[in-house]
Amino acid sequence: MIGKLVKDRVRSGKQAINELYNTGYYGRPKDDVLELTLVEAAYLLYKNKLEITMDENNLGFGEFFTEASKRQQFFELKYIVYKDLRERGYYVQPSVTDFRVYPRGGHPGRTQAKMFVYVRSERIPMLLKDLLSQYNAAQNVRKQMVLAIVDEESDITYYEIKKENIKGNMDTSLSSEETISATMLADRVLVWDEEDSKTLYENGFFGKPLDNERLQLSLVESAYLLEKGIVEIKNGTSGDTMDIDEFSGMSASIDPDFTRKYSTYVDLRSKGFVAKTGFKFGTHFRVYNEVRSFKKLPHSEYLIHAIPQDYEFFLPVMSRAVRLANSVRKEMLYAVEYAGGIEYIDIGRIKM
């Protein structure tokens, strides 16, 4: 069977509709013509199911591949992913986000596509808003959104993108009858009184014991407790009592991510979670659904990183974060603040 390369499509006749579309769902039949994308044509050429001509000349695989990559940006990447999906037994059709993929056992004309696949090179950073617009395109037609990242070696890693409605089980009831005194020293806040330390630590898992009497609070914990009127914080240098604006301003000068981390922290607490630093995992927070015993901590469910709306994912960094989270059986979520609140974006590796 012969297909003709015209611009960024390969066209073949009626026989192709029978042999390629009706049996393998390659291309789209248009009247008596089967129209194939460049990746479909390259794959069929590789499978020896199609010959391709350009200006009456037959093209070898290398010639067609080179020609196609001049005509379509990221052709090689898309080919690599298309081939992989096909070889995994999926039927694939082109889509607004590169590919529509049919569920196993399903095919075009019978079933709905199950997922949208969006192909990226590991080398090209990805804007959060691009990721979300691809996600929304998939979401609007109720498809799963899958990101296929092709590395330097043409290995593909698949990620599923989801927005998550998360909910914890922690019921923190701190009474604020008597305000607890604390002091800010450099970049941490200390509670000196033994009873106070116990109250904060055992009711909500705030802070970390400095020793058996005193408690050390992180900046976000301190701001949270200060805003709730549970603690009052003295500046260790001047001895003056600080209000929330002063404290937040100082915290933001110590930790450039403070403001973003704080909004996420407040949101997580309001949703019934306990959030603690995720430093050891390289993220802002590790998050517990519930902490009942302070002697033995439970497993934390999530690693959460608070990112701005204009965030740009460096894909090797994202890959590392997700891989690390999975290796310790946690989900990696990115928290983004919008006018309506915080959204949690789950990026998880999947096996296709």
Just list the catalytic residues: 288, 299, 330
d(CA 157, CA 145): 14
CA distances from 180 to 218, 239, 246, 351 (A): 15, 16, 18, 51
Scanning 102-110, 169-177, 215-223, 289-297 for contacts with its own copies by CB under 8 A, the matching segment is: 215-223
CA 109 to chain centroid, in Å, comes to 32
Which residue in this structure is represented by tokens 């009706």?
Answer: 22
Scanning 59-67, 104-112, 161-169, 340-348 for contacts with its own copies by CB under 8 A, the matching segment is: 59-67
| 241 contributes a contact to its own copies by CB under 8 A | no
| 6 contributes a contact to its own copies by CB under 8 A | no
d(CA 121, CA 105): 29
| 324 contributes a contact to its own copies by CB under 8 A | yes
User: In sequence order, which residues have a C-beta less than 8 Å from that of residue 195 and are 6 or more positions away?
Assistant: none
| 214 contributes a contact to its own copies by CB under 8 A | yes
d(CA 208, CA 190): 10
Scanning 6-14, 20-28, 68-76, 166-174 for contacts with its own copies by CB under 8 A, the matching segment is: 68-76
Among 19, 151, 160, 246, binds its own copies (CB under 8 A): 151
Among positive and negative, which fits the CA dihedral 80, 82, 83, 88? Answer: positive
User: In sequence order, which residues have a C-beta less than 8 Å from that of residue 236 and are 6 or more positions away?
Assistant: 183, 184, 185, 186
> Interaction with its own copies in 184-203: which residues (CB under 8 A)?
185-188, 190, 192
Total number of residues that touch its own copies (CB under 8 A):
62
Scanning 21-29, 98-106, 263-271, 319-327 for contacts with its own copies by CB under 8 A, the matching segment is: 319-327
What does the per-residue mask of binding to its own copies show for 39-58, with x meaning CB under 8 A?
A: -------x------------
Which residue in this structure is represented by tokens 């408690």?
Answer: 215
d(CA 214, CA 212): 6
Among 31, 55, 56, 152, binds its own copies (CB under 8 A): 152
Among 6, 96, 127, 317, binds its own copies (CB under 8 A): 317
Select from 154, 162, 115, 82 the least CA-distant residue to 349.
Answer: 162
Give me the residues that bind its own copies (CB under 8 A), please: 46, 60-62, 65-66, 69-70, 73-77, 80, 83, 121-123, 149, 151-155, 157, 183, 185-188, 190, 192, 207-208, 210-211, 213-214, 216, 218-219, 236-237, 254-255, 276-277, 279-283, 315-317, 319-321, 323-324, 327-328
